[in-house]
Structure formats: structure tokens, C-alpha cells
Amino acid sequence: MRTNSLALRLFLWAAGWTLVILILTGVALSTLYRHAVERAFDRRLDVYLRTLVADVASPEEGGDKFPQSIGEPLFELPLSGWYWQVTRLDAKKSDVRASRSLWDSSLPRLGTDQPNTAEYQQGYAQGPEDQRLRLVERTIDLGDEGKYLIAVAGDASEIDEETRSFDRAISLTFGALTLALLLTTALQVRFGLAPLTRISQRLAAIRSGRAERLEGQFPVEIAPLARETNALLDANREIVERARTHVGNLAHALKTPLSVIVNEASARGDDPLAQKVREQADIMRDQVARQLERARLAARPTIVGTLTDVPPVVTALARTMEKLYRARDIAIAVDLPEHAFFRGEQQDLEEMLGNLVDNGCKWAQSRVAIEVVADQANADAERGQKNPKPDAADRSGKPRLRIIVDDDGPGLSPEEREQVAHRGQRLDESKPGSGLGLSIVVELAALYDGALTFGSAPIGGLRAELALPAGSP
């Protein structure tokens, strides 16, 4: 399970949508706020416009149609950005009265004096000194007293500044909100996927032999996965144990009939039929042993998560072999690290190593040496270091354990080394055995993705080097 990758994808997906939603929300709020500021600004202009309309429509007695002031100091300051202007549209000569702030300029028109011109208009226009103005204008018709266009403009920079101030505030607010949401999302993703990470770590512990089941409390959504995984592990162990039981039963069931056949044939002496029966019985015995051994070996490595400490196995085996070969006074020297772990079952290691040491003792004159090496390159690979340098026994870079068995016997030629690992091949009939031991080691090592190689021992005889997968507790 690649939880880190899944967590990253979930985080990026959530972060992306969060940013999109916040940006769209910010744009919408900024637009709505600007419209609200414009409406408030227009209401302010509309108050001045209504005042001017009232002055034009109902001038004071003895006055004219053009007011002098509407009580706002900004209309008195030259080029202040606040202006009003009253224009008579039906006069032969344009009659314009404007605020003092316009100085010698005039306001632009939003509409025309055509009959279909709307009575009231508002919008933006370019004013004196390239000022951007918010302008409202209204046309009134007083009949015989004339037709007038009344316009009031204010500095639009107030709208822009108000909007920019709001945008800055909302940007800071949404920025802080974005960080908070991203942090919250990261924590949700991390803690939400934590059970999957725990399952991944515990499965790795099972595979390496440090545990046998998925233990612990899991959320309701993950608990069924843990239960089914444990059920699968239990079923796998039951299948392996059942296969081993059947193999053992079959071996015992066939052993007795074959022994009876061989004994009966041997009792008939040199009878040709008896000799033929003995010959075929030996072939049957060899074939049965071969097929049973294959079935037994194929069943063993299917157990998940077994880890074996090698030094105790080697030490116990060396003591046993010294007792078995005490009559020949074979000395067995061992060179062991404090800890070295084989990723497999102890009985398989005992069988492989037992065959190699037994073969060494058979051919040795007086000495057998056993050395266990956890290669530094492979230890580096297990610790996650980059570019480890695997030795000749393992070019894959996976953690490897080497078990070397040397003897001081006659040794083997390169051609004999090729033959000795083949099932049933015996180079010297004077030595006891069926010729199956080394071939069993080869097959069992191959099932563990290991290898058995032969060479010349420094002490003069044969070197058998067994490379197996290593583990760590």
C-alpha cells in the first residue's frame, strides 16, 4: 500500500479545491462590495443632484435658474474632483452654470439631448486633469421655462480606495483562512490514513518474522480489512500444516510396503526375478522420496513472516555432528556473528545446513569449518542506503546471509562440482548415503530464492557456500 502517495494526492486535491473556492469567493465578495460602495456613492451624488434640481425648478424669488452653491466645500475647491454643472439645452446659445471647482473646464456628457435620452443616467467619465469621475445626470423639462441637464460628479478614487482597502483586508483574512484550512486538511489526511500506515508497517513486521498477526485497534472502516488479513494468514498456515501432515502420512504409508517387497526379494537370493524386483523397488523408493521431498519443500516457504536466528542453530548442529563423528575425531570450528537472521523456517535451515555439514564430515580428514557472514553491502541495503555493492553470491542487492562450510578432504574437480548437486549423483559409492542430500539443499535454497555454490576451501578440501535471504528483528 502506497499510503504516502495516496496522502499526497488527497492533500493536493483538497488544497486545490480549497484554493479555487476561496479565490472564487474572494472575487465574488470584492465585486459585491464594490457594487455596494458604488450604490452608496451614487446616493450621495443623488442628494446633491436633487438639491440642484430643486433650485433650478423652484428658484428663490428674484433669483435665476442657476444656483450659486449647494453647501459642500469640495465644490468650491478648484479641481477637487467634486463638480456640478447645469446646462440649458433649448437655448440658442449654450447657457452653462458650474461649480467653482470646475474652474474653466466642463463635465463630459453621459447621454445626448435627443428626445429619447433617459431622464436619469449614471456612470464613469473622464474629468479635468484626467480625473476618473463617478457622474450622475438628469434632464428636466420646465416647459416654457426651458429644458435643463443637471450633472453632479464625484472623485471615483474614493470608490477605488475603499474597494482596495476591502480587498487587502479580505486577502489577509482569506490567506490566514487558507493556511488554517490547509493545515487542517493535512492533519485530517495524515490522521485519517494513519490506520493504513499502521497496517502496512505491521504487514512488513509479519513478512520479516517479527509478528504473526495484525494486532491492535483499528477504526470501523479499517477493521474488516485487518480481520480478513488475519483470516488469510491463519488459512495459509492451516494449508501448510495440512500439506505437511499428508506428506508425512504418505511417506510412512509407502515406506513399509516397499521395505516388505525389498526384504522378500532379498530372501530369494540371486533369483533373476528377485534381482529385478529389488532393482525396480530401489527406483520406486528413489522416485517416492523425490516426489515427497518436492511436496514437502514446496509447502514450507509458503509460511509468511518466519525469522530464524542462525548462530544457535549452527552451534547446536556442530555439537551434534561432533558426537556423530566422534569415532573419526572430526573437529568442527565455527565462526559466528552475535546475531544473523534467516528469513525462513528453522527446520529448513537445519535441513540445509545439516546436509552440508554432514557431507563435509563424511569427506573431511580431521577438520570442518563453518562460517556465517552477514555481508556489509547487504546490511547497507537493508538499512536503506543507496547503491549497495552486493557480493558474488547475490547480485540482486537484497539482504543476503552467507553460510560457508569448508572441509579438509580431497575436494572436487570443477566437473565433479557440476555433478554433485544433481539428485542421486554419488561420486564415491563407499560413502554412506543416497545421493539426495545436496540436491535437497539446492532445491530448498531455490525455493527461498537462495543459491548453493561450490569451490575450493582454503584448508584444502571442498567449500560449499549457501546464500540465503537475510532478515532483521
Most confident of the following: 55-59, 85-89, 463-467: 463-467
- Kindly state the percentage of the chain with pLDDT values over 90: 22
Mean pLDDT of 220-232: 84
CA 164, CA 30: separation in Å to the nearest integer? Answer: 9
CB 350 within 8 A of CB 466: no
pLDDT in tens, 329-362: 999 999 999 888 998 888 888 888 998 999 899 9
The pLDDT of residue 59? 65
The pLDDT of residue 373? 92
Same domain, 318 and 456: yes
Euclidean distance between the first and the last CA atom of the chain, given in angstroms as a whole number: 22
pLDDT in tens, 241-278: 777 677 767 766 777 787 888 888 888 877 888 888 88
The pLDDT of residue 202? 82
Q: Which residue has the higher pLDDT, 74 or 209?
A: 74
The residue among 133, 157, 181 that closes a domain is 157
- Which ranges in 300-392 belong to alpha helices (H)? 310-324, 346-363, 376-382
Q: Look at the chain and report how many structural domains it folds into.
A: 3
pLDDT band of residue 37 (cuts 50, 70, 90) is very high
Residue 333 forms part of a structural domain: yes
Same domain, 391 and 266: no
Other CB atoms within 10 Å distance of the CB of residue 358: 19
The pLDDT of residue 414? 82
Task: Give the pairing type, strands 331-335 and 367-374.
Answer: parallel
Same domain, 284 and 336: no
325: CATH:
3.30.565.10
Q: Which residue has the higher pLDDT, 465 or 58?
A: 465
Same domain, 251 and 323: no
Is 465 strand, coil or helix? strand
Same domain, 129 and 90: yes
pLDDT band of residue 411 (cuts 50, 70, 90) is confident
Residue 421: pLDDT over 80: no
Residue 32: pLDDT over 80: yes
Cβ-based burial of 273 (10 A; exposed 0-12, middle 13-18, buried ≥19): exposed
Residue 28 forms part of a structural domain: no
| DSSP annotation string for 88-155 | ESSSSS-EEEE-GGGTT--PPPSS-SSTT--SEEEEEEE-GGG-EEEEEEEEEE-GGG-EEEEEEEEE
**Full domain range(s) for residue 266:** 245-301
The pLDDT of residue 208? 67
The pLDDT of residue 118? 53
Residue 464 forms part of a structural domain: yes
Residue whose C-alpha cell is 453632479: 152
Lowest mean pLDDT among 89-98, 304-313, 446-455: 89-98
Report residue 281 CA to chain centroid gap.
Answer: 59
Same domain, 277 and 318: no
Residue 224 forms part of a structural domain: no
CA 32, CA 406: separation in Å to the nearest integer? Answer: 89
Strand partners of residue 376: none
Same domain, 377 and 450: yes
pLDDT band of residue 61 (cuts 50, 70, 90) is low
Residue 38 forms part of a structural domain: no
Cell of 98: 458650474
Lowest mean pLDDT among 21-35, 305-319, 419-433: 419-433
Strand partners of residue 456: 462
CA 221, CA 199: separation in Å to the nearest integer? Answer: 13
The residue among 274, 301, 328 that closes a domain is 301
Of the candidates 66, 70, 80, which has an alpha carbon nearest to the alpha carbon of residue 44? 70
- Kindly state the percentage of the chain with pLDDT values over 70: 79
Altogether, the residues listed in the chain come to a count of 473
Mean pLDDT of 176-195: 82
Residue 302: pLDDT over 60: no
pLDDT in tens, 390-401: 443 444 456 789
What b/e string do you get for 403-426 counting C-beta neighbours within 10 Å, with b at 16 or more? bbbbbbbebbeeeebeebbebeee
Residue 336 forms part of a structural domain: yes
Same domain, 265 and 319: no
pLDDT band of residue 117 (cuts 50, 70, 90) is very low
Chain mean pLDDT for the chain = 79
Same domain, 249 and 265: yes
Q: Which residue has the higher pLDDT, 287 or 425?
A: 287
Of the candidates 372, 419, 379, 376, which has an alpha carbon nearest to the alpha carbon of residue 399? 379
Is 341 strand, coil or helix? strand
Cβ-based burial of 10 (10 A; exposed 0-12, middle 13-18, buried ≥19): middle
Same domain, 277 and 316: no
Residue 365 forms part of a structural domain: yes
pLDDT band of residue 112 (cuts 50, 70, 90) is low
Of the candidates 176, 229, 173, 174, which has an alpha carbon nearest to the alpha carbon of residue 198? 229
Same domain, 351 and 287: no
Residue 205 forms part of a structural domain: no
The residue among 157, 176, 198 that closes a domain is 157
| DSSP annotation string for 259-298 | HHHHHHHHHTTT-HHHHHHHHHHHHHHHHHHHHHHHHHHH
Same domain, 343 and 258: no
pLDDT band of residue 40 (cuts 50, 70, 90) is very high
